[in-house]
Amino acid sequence: MHRGRLLLLVAAAIALLPAAAWASTGGGEGMTHRMMTLVLQVGVILFVAKLGNLLFEKLGLPGALGELAAGIAIGPYALGGLGFYGFPGGLFATVEGAALSPELQGLAAIAAIVLLFEAGLETDLKLLMRYAVVGGIVGLGGMVASFFVGAAAVKLFATAVVGEPVSLFAPPALFL
């Protein structure tokens, strides 16, 4: 029961934050508004990712899959692009054609660097060297197989999608 109240309190705080962010700058796009939006975005990302993790683990699926699904759901091309009070373009609206605001992009880059650093610290070099050849062969085989499957898809479906046959390295083929 106590956990349910805490969850309700956090959800109410998240619901009220856009009004506070909008009112603090008089509805403008100043630095305060941008930073409050960033804090709100990070809070929503962490909250929804945790909910996705818990939900998928209850279903017997990997929690990381739930976090990915939650990220897709709140992204700028889904629920994050829906407008509401204080955020007419949505909380995760596209900015100048980009899917992320520059502030969130910078924070994500720093988080990726920290994640890779942590992974490097936890790497067992003896185990890595033991399976380096086998892992390299599997990785190279996967890359080559993906290339040939993609090339076959271009040859089979390019005429139906683009309307004319295209060469393997033509821009429409690369985006097919």
What's this model's pTM, rounded to 2 decimal places? 0.61
Amino acid at 57: E
Token reading at 143: 């890359």
Res 129: pLDDT: 93
What's the mean pLDDT in 146-159? 84
Res 176: pLDDT: 58
- The helix (run of H) or strand (run of E) holding residue 144 is helix 132-162
Q: Please give the DSSP secondary-structure letter assigned to residue 91.
A: T
Hey, where are the domains in the chain? 2-123, 124-176
Res 56: pLDDT: 96
Amino acid at 35: M
| Tokens 């509401």, located at residue | 84
Helices (H), 25-131: 31-58, 63-73, 102-121, 125-130
Q: Which of 7-11, 89-93, 112-116 has the lowest mean pLDDT?
A: 7-11
Res 13: pLDDT: 65
What's the mean pLDDT in 97-119? 88
